Structure 1
Amino acid sequence: MHRALLPAACAAIVLAQLSAAVAQAPAASEPPAASGSPGEAGQNRIQVVNRTGQDATAIHAVRSGRADWGSNTLPRPMPTDKSFTLRTRTEAGCRFDIRLITADGKRATLRDRDICATPRVEVTAADLRPAPSRPAEGTPNPRAAGSSGTGFVVATDRVLTNQHVVAGCNKIFVRTADGRTLPAVPPARVDESVDLALLAVPGDPGEVVTFRSTPDVRRGEGVIAFGFPLAGLLSSDPKLTRGEVNGMNGLRNNPNHYQISAEVQPGNSGGPLLDMQGRIVGVVVSKLHAQNIAKQTGDIPQNVNFAIKGSAAQVFLRRAGIVPEVAPSSGADRSAADIGEDINRSTVFIRCEK
C-alpha cells in the first residue's frame, strides 16, 4: 500500500528543564500558583498530580490540537499521590492536552486544559480508560488491488464506515491520525440495508466521537463532512468541506438519509458528518451520479450528496452491541477549523485489499 505522508504535526512544544525528581504532591490546603504566573521567565508551569491509586509510567503534555503526543516526560515511574512539574515556553500558549498512563496500561486523557488559569492538574482513577488491545498481525501489501474510504471511532477499538467501503475485502487496514497503520480483525459487523459496517481495530485507532442527541436536525443547518476523497490523486491529509442539510430524506425519499450540499467525492464514503457544535449527525455515503442522471433527464445535477442519518447509525450500533456516546448540541456555533482539529483525532483512512 502506498504510504503517503500525513501533514506535519503542529510545531513541537519545547519543554524546559524538567524537575530532577518527582516531588510530594502539595497538601490540599496548599494554594496553587497564581493564575497565569510563569514558573520562570518566559515559561509556564504544569503540575500533574497522580491520584489514580497506582504508579504512573508516562505523562504527555502537548499543545491542544496536536495530532501526536510527543515524548514521555517522566524520568521514572511516579507513585500515586505524587506530582510532577514541567515547564513550557510561553509562546506555546496556555491550552494543553495532557495524558497520563498507569502501570497497567490504562490512560487518562484531559483535553484543552488552560494551564495559565489552572496550572495544577489532578488525574484521578475516574479519568482512566482501559488499555488499548494489541493490534492483530498483518501488514499492508502495496501491490494488492484495492480501494479506500473513510471511517471514524465510535467505541474503544471500533470503527464505523460504510458497508460498500469494505465489501469484498480480503484484508482491511486503517491509518490513524498519528500515522500508524492498524489491521482490522474480521469479521466485520455489517448491514447492507443501511450501508453500514462496524470494524474491530485493536490498537487504539483514535478518540471516540459523540453523536448528537437533541435537538432534531433541521433543513438548512450547517454541516461539515470530513474524510479522505480521491486517495492517490489529492494529498493524503483529510479534507474538510462545509455545507447545509438540503433535504430531510434521500434519493427516492429514503428516510434513512439526508441530502446535503457539503461536497463529497469517492473516498469520503464512511466519513463523519458533523453539526456546527462538532456532534455527529450522519455518515457520508454517496453523491448523485451526474452522468447517469444527465442521460435520464438531459440535465446535469449540481452538488447533490447524501449522508446516512445519525439516528440510523445509532440504531445500527446498538444492534451491534455498542452504546454510542451522545450529547445535546447547544450554544453558539464553533469554527470549522476547531471542529476539524477535534474530529481529525477520531477519523481514519481505510484501505481495502482485494
Structure 2
Amino acid sequence: MPQRLRVALLLAWLLPVLGPTPAPAQSPAAAPAQDWPVRIVNRTGQPATALHAVRSGRTDWGGNLLNRGPLPNNAAFAMRPNAAAGCRFDVRLVLADGREALARNQDICATPRVELYTAVAAAPPGIITTPTPVPGVAQARPNAQARRVSTGTGFVVAPDRVLTNQHVVDGCDRILARTPDGRWLAAVPPAQVDRALDLSILHIPGNPGPALSFRAGPAVRRGEGVVAYGFPLSGLLSADPKLTRGEINALGGLRNDQNTYQISAEVQPGNSGGPLLDMQGHVVGVVVAKLDSRRVQNVDNVNFAVKGEAAQAFLRRAGHAFQAAQSSGADRSAADVGDIANRSTVLLRCER
C-alpha cells in the first residue's frame, strides 16, 4: 500500500466523527386483533418469581402474572392482551435474588415475543422509573472560559452509565452531558476505557435517560437497514440530534477489523460514540469513524461502527449490566427508531 494512502487511512480512522418520546401506541381503530399469544421468555439464567406486563405509560407494575409459580430460565409465559386497547407494553421479570430484567415500549402487535436477558438492581417496589431529575444531583454549567472544547455523542446503556468512544473523552479536564430534556450533567471520573476498541463508559449521575437495548439476535447481515443517531458538527448545525439512515455494507472494518462494521449511514465529526440501531430500535453498533474523502481520492461515504457484540463484551468486562432483546417482526420506520434513540442519546462536551 502506498505510504500516502496508508497515512490517509490512519488519519481518517483517528478523525473523531464525532431523550425521547416513546413511539405512539396504535389507535384502537388501527390495532389488529391479538388472536395469538404473546410470549414472554426468561433468558436471565435463573428462575423469575414475578412477571409484570403493563401498557407503556403506567406508573405502577400492576399484579404478578405468575400465579402458578416461578418461571424457569429459558421458559416462556403466554398471555393474550387486548390489542385494541394498545400495542405498547413495558415488561418486567423479578428474579429470585431480587434483581429485575426490563423491556420497555415493546410493540406486541408487531413482535409477539419478548425475550428478557440482563438483570439489574431492582427499582423501589411498584414503581416504573422514568428519566426525571434525581434529587441532590445538581445541574452543571458549561465553562465558557475553557481553552478548548470538542463535542461527541453518547447513549445510556445502564442506570447513570453512558457509552461513547474513548477518543471523544480522551484528555478532557471535564466532561458534561446534555440530556434530551435539556439538563447539563457532569461525568464523575474516572472513565472506564478500552483503547483497542475505542470505547469508554462514563458515570453520569442524575438520570440522563433510559437505557437502550442491544440486539441479542439474530446475527446482523450485510444489507440490513440501520439508523445512526447523534450530534454531528455541533455549533455549525442546529443543536438538536440528527438521524441518518443507511445499510450494513460489510461485516468487517478498516484493514479487515472484525470488531467493526462498514456502514453507509453517513456520519460527521460529532457523531462519534452515538448509537447505530437496527430497524427494530436495538443497538447493533457504536459509531466510531469515517474515511476522510479529502485524503483518499475517489472514495466517498465510507463509515465505521464498533460492533454491538464487542461493546457488550466490554460492558461485561467492566462489570456493567445491560439490556438485550431479539430483533424480529416488521421493521419500524426510521422516525420511530429515532424516537427510541432520542430519549437515551446525549451530547457530550469535552472541556480542556
TM-score bracket relative to the smaller structure: 0.5 to 0.7
Indicate the percent of aligned positions where both proteins have the same amino acid: 57
Q: CA contact under 8 A between 2:276 and 2:286: conserved in structure 1? A: yes
- Scaled by the length of structure 2, what TM-score is found? 0.65
Return closer, same or farther for 1:50/1:310 CA change in 2, 3 Å cut-off.
closer
Residues of 2 paired with 1:285 and 1:240: CA distance? 16
Partner amino acid, structure 1, of 2:142: P
* Alignment-derived partner of residue 317 in structure 2: 319
Cα deviation code 1:42-86 (max 9, x no counterpart): xxxxx9786789xxxxxxxxxxxxxxxxxxxxxxxxxxxxxxxxx
Change (3 A) 1:126 1:330: farther
State the alpha-carbon separation in 1 of the partners of residues 87 and 160 from structure 2: 27
Amino acid at match of 2:125: A
Higher relative contact order (CA 8 A, sep 6+): 2
Aligned to 2:236: 233
Equivalent position to 1:279, from 279, 282, 300? 282
Name the structure 1 match of 2:329.
331
**For 2:221, which of 197, 215, 218 is the aligned residue?**
218
* In 2, Cα distance between equivalents of 1:336 and 1:94: 21
Match for residue 155 of structure 2 among 152, 155, 159:
152
Go from structure 1 to structure 2 and tell me whether the alpha carbon gap of 1:185 and 1:340 turns closer, same or farther (over 3 Å shift).
Answer: same
Contact 1:153/1:160 (<8 A) preserved: yes
Give the corresponding residue for 1:247: 250
Distance of aligned partners of 1:141 and 1:94 in 2 relative to their CA distance in 1, 3 Å threshold: same
Specify whether residues 302 and 193 from structure 1 end up closer, same or farther in structure 2 by C-alpha distance, changes over 3 A only: same
Query: 3-state DSSP class of the match of 1:327?
Result: strand
1:209 aligns with 2:208: no
Equivalent residue for 1:266? 269
- CA 1:266–1:50: 2 relative to 1, 3 Å: closer
Q: Show the counterpart of 1:188.
A: 191
Q: Distance in 2 between matches of 1:175 and 1:345?
A: 11
Q: Distance in 2 between matches of 1:222 and 1:50?
A: 35
Distance 1:281 1:181 in 2: 27
Which whole-Å CA distance do the structure 2 matches of 1:165 and 1:207 have between them?
A: 22
Task: Determine if the alignment matches structure 1 residue 292 to structure 2 residue 290.
Answer: no
| Structure 2 CA distance for partners of 1:305 and 1:292, relative to 1, 3 Å | same
Do 1:291 and 1:300's aligned partners in 2 also have CA atoms closer than 8 Å? no
Shift of 1:142: 1.8
Deviation of the 1:113 alpha carbon: 10
Match of 1:305 in 2: 303
State the aligned residue count: 253
Amino acid in structure 2 at the alignment position of 1:312: A
CA deviation profile, 1:158-185 (whole Å, cap 9, x unmatched): 0000000000100000001111110111
Letter in 2 for 1:125: P
Per-residue CA distance 1:199-254 (angstroms, 9 max, x = gap): 00000000100000111101111100000000000001000000000011111111
Secondary structure at the residue paired with 1:312? helix
Whether the aligned pair in 2 keeps the contact of 1:151 and 1:348 (CA below 8 Å) is yes
1:345 is aligned to 343
Unaligned runs of at least 5 residues, structure 2: 1-18, 23-27, 30-56, 64-84, 91-101, 109-123
User: Which residue identity does 1:259 align to in structure 2?
Assistant: Q
Write the letter of the residue equivalent to 1:143: Q
In the TM superposition, residue 128 of structure 1 has moved relative to its aligned partner by: 3.8
How far apart are residue 110 of structure 1 and its match?
A: 7.3
Q: Is the 8 A contact 1:249 1:258 kept in 2?
A: yes
Deviation, structure 1 residue 97: 10
Counterpart amino acid of residue 225 in structure 1: A
SS at match of 1:159: strand
Q: What amino acid sits opposite 1:214 in the alignment?
A: G
Contact 1:176 1:206 in 2 (8 A): yes
Q: TM-score under structure 1 normalisation?
A: 0.64
